[in-house]
Amino acid sequence: MVETNGGANKRPETKMQTLPQTGFVRLSAILAPNGPIPVGRSTWWAGVKEGRFPKPVKLGARITAWRVEDIRAFIENGG
């Protein structure tokens, strides 16, 4: 059967297949359309500020990333 809802009802296991097992990921790998979380950048950053989304890690002066383990846990808990 062909999926017609654009993948909106993907199970968490399916969403997480696009993520590596460990390490760090940049925002472009987390948010749609390339990543498993279907929110925009401004919504994501507002959620980080409010504590709804995982906190980032600064890897350098201009490099922000997230631990894959934190993103996976967020998705598993109903993100």
Residue 37 lies in a domain: yes
Q: Is residue 30 part of a domain?
A: yes
User: What b/e string do you get for 49-67 counting C-beta neighbours within 10 Å, with b at 16 or more?
Assistant: eeeebbebeeeeeeeebbb
Question: Which pLDDT belongs to residue 64?
Answer: 98
Helix (H) / strand (E) containing 72: helix 68-76
Do the domain assignments include residue 8? no
Closest CA to 71 of 50, 49, 60, 56: 56
Flag whether 69 is in a domain.
yes
The CA distance from 74 to 53, in Å, is 7
How many domains does the chain fold into? 1
Establish if 14 belongs to a structural domain.
no
pLDDT at 2 (0 to 100): 44
Does residue 1 form part of some domain? no
**4 pLDDT higher than 50:** no
Q: Is residue 44 part of a domain?
A: yes
34 within some domain: yes
Q: What is the pLDDT of residues 10-58, one digit of tens each?
A: 555 566 677 999 999 999 999 999 899 999 999 999 999 999 999 999 9
| pTM metric for this prediction | 0.78
**pLDDT for position 18:** 79
Q: 41 is in which domain, residue-wise?
A: 24-76
pLDDT value for 6: 52
**What are the backbone angles phi and psi of residue 60, rounded to the nearest 5°?**
-170, 180
